[in-house]
């Protein structure tokens, strides 16, 4: 039995990662219903909005799902933890900050904790603090990334050698071959973001899905390096505008406004690439269809099994 599945109470070792303010109960519930772990993210939403999202997701699925709290992004992390306890959630994912102070309260309430990490040091600290699972994220991934910029390929074996808790590899996985690869590196599963954008259930703008389908292997870019806050976006007029503004010396505050969750929603939900951005990972270039979530998960598991069997004859 896969330890990650056992801890989370799911069938397939595939996690849909948090998606800030575009998080959707429809997508998260579809992933959980299909046997993976869906996640709704709090982003910068108000408590009322997050509460609404939790209620909607609970109405759509009785299976486990996670609430992602991005610690340095959300202004109300302690209150969100209390909300997770109040609604008796089974899993909380802590990202973008030090999870240690927040883990005890969740553990006392019997909530499983996934900590998103991007270095061996962070991974060991999160394990010591009691995290049940680590999502180790390489900088191939969509959205806000670690400034350390370590790739999934290099990060996963180093983290899985350093900790005992199960690790889900995030960043650059979009098919069964990617899943097989991270299992071979010692992970117990994968966390994906970009691949789930191009699914039938994802309620995002058609042009966001199409942008991913049309992407080549060079169609994402990193912005925010000069502010120590990097994020990976699909190349677009707005992303290029962000890059120009950064090069021309906008202040950190101005840049934060330009990369706010409002601009995220404008890009991802309205498909407006002049005024908003679309998060996207390097693996976009591999994605060429829009399956249902259940089709995607079934296909990935079959392909990963085949790939692992095939690989043994290669050495």
Ligand X SMILES: Cc1cc2nc3c(=O)[nH]c(=O)nc-3n(C[C@H](O)[C@H](O)[C@H](O)COP(=O)(O)O)c2cc1C
Residues lying near ligand X in the complex (CB under 6 A) are found at: 17-20, 22, 41, 43, 68, 70, 95-96, 116, 137, 140-143, 170-173, 191-195, 197, 279, 281, 283
Minimum gap (Å) between residue 248 Cβ and ligand X: 26
Minimum gap (Å) between residue 313 Cβ and ligand X: 29
3-state SS assignment for residue 76: coil
| Residues ≥6 apart with Cβ < 8 Å to 267 | 208, 236, 238, 273, 275, 276, 277, 278
Enter the DSSP assignment of 227: G
Minimum gap (Å) between residue 222 Cβ and ligand X: 13
Nearer to ligand X among residue 114 and residue 129 (C-beta): 114
Nearer to ligand X among residue 179 and residue 192 (C-beta): 192
Query: Quick check: 28 and 38 in contact, CB under 8 A?
Result: yes
Query: Quick check: 123 and 114 in contact, CB under 8 A?
Result: no
Nearer to ligand X among residue 22 and residue 163 (C-beta): 22
Nearer to ligand X among residue 35 and residue 99 (C-beta): 99
> How far is it, in rounded angstroms, from Cα 154 to Cα 72?
26
Nearer to ligand X among residue 39 and residue 307 (C-beta): 39
Minimum gap (Å) between residue 186 Cβ and ligand X: 18
Query: Quick check: 116 and 144 in contact, CB under 8 A?
Result: no
Query: Quick check: 18 and 168 in contact, CB under 8 A?
Result: no
| Residues ≥6 apart with Cβ < 8 Å to 195 | 173, 174, 175, 283, 287, 296
Minimum gap (Å) between residue 177 Cβ and ligand X: 14
Minimum gap (Å) between residue 231 Cβ and ligand X: 9
Nearer to ligand X among residue 129 and residue 197 (C-beta): 197
Dump the DSSP string for 267-290.
HHTT--TTT---B--GGGGG----
Minimum gap (Å) between residue 11 Cβ and ligand X: 20
Nearer to ligand X among residue 96 and residue 315 (C-beta): 96
Q: How far is CA 39 from CA 23, 131, 161, in A?
A: 8, 17, 27
């Amino acid at each position: 039995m896969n330890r990650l599945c056992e801890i989370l109470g799911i069938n397939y070792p595939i996690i849909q990662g948090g998606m800030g303010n575009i998080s959707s109960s429809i997508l998260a519930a579809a992933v959980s219903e299909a046997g993976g772990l869906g996640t709704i993210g709090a982003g910068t939403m108000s408590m009322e909005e997050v509460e609404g999202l939790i209620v909607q997701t609970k109405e759509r699925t009785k299976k486990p799902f996670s609430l992602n709290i991005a610690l340095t992004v959300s202004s109300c992390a302690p209150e969100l933890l209390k909300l997770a306890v109040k609604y008796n959630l089974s899993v909380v994912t802590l990202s973008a900050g030090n999870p240690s102070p927040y883990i005890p309260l969740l553990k006392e309430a019997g909530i499983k904790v996934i900590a998103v990490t991007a270095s061996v040091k962070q991974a060991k600290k999160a394990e010591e603090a009691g995290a049940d699972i680590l999502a180790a994220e390489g900088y191939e991934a969509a959205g806000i990334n670690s400034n350390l910029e370590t790739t999934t390929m290099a990060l996963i074996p180093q983290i899985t050698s350093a900790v005992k808790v199960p690790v889900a590899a995030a960043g650059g996985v979009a098919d069964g071959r990617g899943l097989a690869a991270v299992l071979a590196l010692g992970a117990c599963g994968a966390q994906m973001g970009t691949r789930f954008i191009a699914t039938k259930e994802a309620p995002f703008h058609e042009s966001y899905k199409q942008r991913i389908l049309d992407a080549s292997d060079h169609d994402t870019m990193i912005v925010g390096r000069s502010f120590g806050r990097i994020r990976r976006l699909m190349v677009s007029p707005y992303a290029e505008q962000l890059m120009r503004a950064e090069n021309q010396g906008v202040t950190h505050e101005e840049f934060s406004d330009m990369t706010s969750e409002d601009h995220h929603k404008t890009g991802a939900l309205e498909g407006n690439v002049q005024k908003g951005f679309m998060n996207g990972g390097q693996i976009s270039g591999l994605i060429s269809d829009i399956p249902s979530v259940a089709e995607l998960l079934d296909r990935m598991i079959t392909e990963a099994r085949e790939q692992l069997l095939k690989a043994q004859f290669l050495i």
